[in-house]
């Protein structure tokens, strides 16, 4: 009976494996087969009993208890891939399931090239019931059909199928695909359309140049050909050459392209003038737009004065005067004072201050009217710094002015003298370090050092930033030509004790700024 059961089981297994290996079906993998053989009692290899009896002449002992079977470790899934030159389907199904359980299959449909009439068919396993599909498929018996139609190269569609296991045994999932090659070429049909916009200043002064801007644009979907712009010069405006009509051949404008045309004219009389421009193109009607300007004789003047010279670190005060010198009121006058980068605004009464900018606003400045403002600056940087101011009115007027201040720095020299060692014995040497630092904000020049020794100590040598000369009890150094702010120079003098006592070294510092010597003393005790 064991041999018969084993033979029947192996025959069944062979049929199942052969069915699973058919094209388009889930692969019956070697590891699944091994697992199946290991876990199914019918699948284990066992020596028949009568063979054992022939080999074992003595009475056989009681059969040992069979070893416990290892727990099966089901594979995560079974899967297969089918493809043509145009289409590929990869399907993944569970490796194991439970009777009555809803199982989920996944299909990944990939276009390997552009194709048409793409159809994918998924076959429900025998012994399973359809539950649902995403995206929805056409159900034809045991077939689920997706009529995809056109697909582009690289396009991917993912589908899922849920089915219920209605019987025990192997449920074999299969799928098929079909598609035909697809090639396409198109012709874009477009239509040109033109637009024109003209802009210019709302007001202008009599006798001044006014620049208008004409912008033509192809707002259509195909080229606009033979585009021509015409500008008609009205009375009150004059072209540089005296022409009354200006023509601009734009040529061809591609879809979305535009052309900006500046037109500069001079105002010749007061009042409102409207400058009209038009555009035409092949097969297109004429379009027009205008820009109107009121020609007036306003006048705006801004003046600035202030401190001519000042020391770094102090303040300089500036006065700003804004005047309406014209014959019309000025609206929304904005006065902007911009302090140079090397300065800082200390105060600007009535202004809005932002960084180094102070701003005043005048809602209306009547003709003949004037207003004054004050700004106070300080600087920590020497040099000539110019403070500028601008005044602008809504009518398009703008005037500027500036006032400059020469900011002068101040040199401040610090002298330090240190001896090492101190005290010393007679015959022992010590060294004096002399350091001069410019603590000020300006250069000083011709810095000179002279050292005078007393009876207790004799100088022996001198060196440092400049050459030193020892003459008896005196040491002098060549002058330093220039010492910049925060810069230091150092000299050293070596000396020895010659007699006991409290010695006082006196060092004189002079420069072009320090006409009277600055005297620094250093005490050294000799024993």
pLDDT digits (tens, 9 = 90+) for 194-204: 999 999 999 88
As a whole number of angstroms, the distance between CA 464 and CA 416 comes to 14
Secondary structure E strands in 166-207:
174-181, 194-199, 203-205
Q: DSSP letter string over 340-367?
A: -TTEEEEE-TT-EEETTEEEEEEEEE-T
| 337-365 average pLDDT score | 95
Tokens of residue 458, six digits: 């004799």
pLDDT tops 80 at residue 42 = no
Matching CATH number, 2-49+75-181, of 1.20.1080.10, 3.40.50.2000, 2.40.10.10, 2.60.40.1170:
2.60.40.1170
As a whole number of angstroms, the distance between CA 318 and CA 340 comes to 13
Report the percentage of the chain scoring pLDDT > 70. Answer: 86
DSSP annotation of 42 reads G
Q: Taking the CB of residue 103, how many other CB atoms lie within 10 A of it?
A: 19
Instruction: Name residues whose C-beta falls within 8 Å of residue 110's C-beta, 6 or more positions apart in sequence.
Output: 87, 88, 89, 90, 154, 155, 156
378 in Cβ contact with 314 (< 8 Å): yes
Give me the pLDDT at residue 8, please. 34
What is the maximal distance between C-alpha atoms in the chain?
Answer: 141
Tokens of residue 140, six digits: 């034809």
Tokens of residue 467, six digits: 């050459």
Give me the pLDDT at residue 457, please. 95
Tokens of residue 250, six digits: 């734009």
Give me the pLDDT at residue 298, please. 84
47-61, 167-181, 300-314, 413-427: least confidently modelled range? 47-61
Give me the pLDDT at residue 493, please. 96
Mean pLDDT, the chain, as a whole number?
A: 86
| 487-516 average pLDDT score | 94
Please name which of 500, 491, 516, 475 lies closest in space to residue 418, comparing C-alpha atoms. Answer: 491
Class of domain 194-296: mainly beta
| 193-216 average pLDDT score | 93
State the Rg of the chain over Cα: 52
What are the domain boundaries of the chain? 2-49+75-181, 194-296, 300-408, 413-526
| 91-116 average pLDDT score | 95
Q: Pairing mode, if any, of strands 284-296 and 203-205?
A: parallel
| 269-297 average pLDDT score | 92
pLDDT tops 80 at residue 90 = yes
Give me the pLDDT at residue 66, please. 52
Instruction: Name residues whose C-beta falls within 8 Å of residue 520's C-beta, 6 or more positions apart in sequence.
Output: 415, 416, 417, 506, 507, 509
| 279-287 average pLDDT score | 93
Give me the pLDDT at residue 19, please. 37
Q: Euclidean distance between the first and final Cα of the chain, in Å?
A: 128
- The CATH number of the structural domain formed by 300-408 is 2.60.40.10
As a whole number of angstroms, the distance between CA 522 and CA 432 comes to 9
pLDDT digits (tens, 9 = 90+) for 66-82: 545 544 444 467 999 99
Q: What is the pTM of this model?
A: 0.38
Please name which of 192, 377, 211 lies closest in space to residue 279, comparing C-alpha atoms. Answer: 192
Give me the pLDDT at residue 258, please. 95
CA angle 493, 496, 499 (to 5 degrees): 135
pLDDT digits (tens, 9 = 90+) for 51-67: 333 334 444 454 545 54
Comparing 15 with 323, which gets the higher pLDDT? 323
Give phi and psi for 498, each to the nearest 5.
-120, -20
Q: What are the angstrom distances between the C-alpha of 306 and each of 264, 381, 410?
A: 39, 18, 21
Give me the pLDDT at residue 369, please. 94
Give me the pLDDT at residue 76, please. 64
| 268-281 average pLDDT score | 93
| 144-171 average pLDDT score | 96
514 in Cβ contact with 413 (< 8 Å): yes
511 in Cβ contact with 500 (< 8 Å): no
Please state the three-class secondary structure of 256-290 as a single string: CCEEEEEEEEEECCCEEEEEEEEEEECCEEEEEEE
Do the domains spanning 194-296 and 300-408 agree at the CATH topology level? yes
pLDDT tops 60 at residue 28 = no
pLDDT digits (tens, 9 = 90+) for 32-41: 444 433 333 3
Comparing 9 with 386, which gets the higher pLDDT? 386
| 114-142 average pLDDT score | 95
Q: How confident is the model at residue 382 (pLDDT cuts 50, 70, 90)?
A: confident
Please name which of 311, 510, 525, 501 lies closest in space to residue 406, comparing C-alpha atoms. Answer: 311
As a whole number of angstroms, the distance between CA 296 and CA 204 comes to 6
Q: Is 8 helix (H, G, I), strand (E, B) or coil?
A: helix
As a whole number of angstroms, the distance between CA 181 and CA 176 comes to 17
Q: Pairing mode, if any, of strands 115-123 and 143-151?
A: antiparallel
- Looking at CATH, the fold of the domain delimited by 413-526 is given as Immunoglobulin-like (2.60.40)
pLDDT digits (tens, 9 = 90+) for 389-413: 999 999 888 999 999 999 988 888 9
As a whole number of angstroms, the distance between CA 250 and CA 352 comes to 48
DSSP annotation of 30 reads H
115-119, 128-132, 175-179, 295-299: least confidently modelled range? 295-299
Comparing 386 with 41, which gets the higher pLDDT? 386
410 in Cβ contact with 312 (< 8 Å): yes
pLDDT digits (tens, 9 = 90+) for 417-462: 999 999 999 999 999 999 999 988 888 999 999 999 999 999 999 9
Give me the pLDDT at residue 73, please. 47
As a whole number of angstroms, the distance between CA 299 and CA 393 comes to 10
Report the percentage of the chain scoring pLDDT > 90. Answer: 74
pLDDT tops 50 at residue 336 = yes
Dihedral-angle region of residue 256 (phi above 0 means left; psi in -120 to 50 means alpha; beta otherwise):
left
| 145-171 average pLDDT score | 96
pLDDT tops 60 at residue 168 = yes
Tokens of residue 280, six digits: 């035409």
Instruction: Name residues whose C-beta falls within 8 Å of residue 281's C-beta, 6 or more positions apart in sequence.
Output: 192, 194, 224, 225, 226, 227, 228, 253
């Amino acid at each position: 009976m064991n041999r018969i059961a084993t033979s029947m089981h192996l025959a069944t297994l062979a049929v199942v494996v052969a069915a699973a290996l058919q094209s388009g079906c889930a692969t019956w993998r070697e590891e699944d087969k091994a697992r199946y053989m290991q876990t199914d009692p019918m699948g284990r290899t066992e020596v028949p009993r009568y063979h054992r009896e022939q080999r074992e002449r003595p009475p056989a002992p009681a059969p040992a208890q069979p070893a416990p079977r290892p727990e099966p470790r089901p594979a995560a899934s079974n899967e297969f891939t089918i493809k043509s030159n145009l289409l590929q389907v990869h399907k993944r199904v569970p490796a194991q399931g439970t009777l009555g359980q809803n199982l989920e299959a996944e299909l990944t449909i990939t276009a390997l090239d552009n194709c048409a009439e793409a159809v994918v068919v998924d076959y429900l396993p025998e012994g399973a019931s359809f539950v649902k599909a995403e995206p929805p498929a056409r159900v034809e018996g045991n077939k689920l059909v997706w009529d995809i139609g056109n697909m582009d190269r690289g396009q991917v569609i993912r589908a899922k199928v849920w089915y219920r296991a209605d019987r025990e045994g192997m449920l074999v999932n299969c799928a098929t695909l079909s598609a035909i090659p697809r090639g396409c070429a198109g012709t874009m049909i477009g239509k040109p359309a033109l637009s024109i916009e003209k802009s210019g200043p709302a007001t202008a002064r009599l006798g001044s140049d006014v620049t208008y801007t004409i912008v033509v644009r192809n707002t259509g979907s195909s080229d606009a050909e033979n585009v021509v712009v015409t500008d008609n010069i009205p009375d009150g405006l004059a072209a540089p050459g005296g022409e009354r009509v200006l023509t601009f051949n734009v040529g061809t404008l591609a879809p979305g392209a535009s052309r900006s045309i500046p037109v500069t004219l001079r105002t010749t009389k007061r009042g409102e003038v409207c400058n009209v421009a038009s555009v035409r193109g092949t097969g297109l009607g004429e379009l027009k737009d205008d820009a109107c300007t009121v020609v007036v004789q306003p006048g705006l003047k801004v003046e600035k004065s202030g401190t001519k010279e000042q020391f770094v670190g102090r303040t300089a005060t500036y006065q700003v005067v804004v005047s309406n010198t014209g014959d019309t009121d000025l609206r929304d006058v904005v006065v902007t004072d911009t302090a140079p980068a090397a300065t800082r605004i200390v105060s600007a009464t009535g202004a809005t201050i932002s960084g180094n900018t102070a701003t005043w606003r005048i809602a209306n400045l009547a003709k003949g009217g004037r207003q004054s403002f004050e700004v106070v600056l300080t600087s920590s940087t020497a040099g000539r710094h110019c403070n500028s101011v601008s005044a602008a009115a809504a009518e398009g007027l703008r005037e500027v002015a500036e006032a400059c201040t020469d900011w002068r720095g101040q040199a401040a020299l610090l002298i330090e003298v240190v001896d090492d060692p101190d005290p010393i014995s007679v015959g022992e040497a010590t060294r004096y370090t002399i350091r001069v630092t410019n603590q000020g904000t300006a250069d000083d020049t011709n810095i000179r050092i002279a050292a005078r020794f007393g009876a207790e100590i004799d100088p022996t040598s001198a060196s440092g930033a400049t050459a030193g000369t020892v003459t008896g009890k005196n040491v002098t150094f060549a002058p330093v030509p220039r010492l910049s702010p925060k810069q230091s120079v150092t000299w050293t003098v070596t000396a020895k004790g010659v007699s006991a006592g409290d010695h006082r070294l006196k060092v004189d510092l002079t420069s072009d700024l320090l006409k009277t010597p600055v005297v620094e003393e250093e005490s050294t005790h000799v024993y």
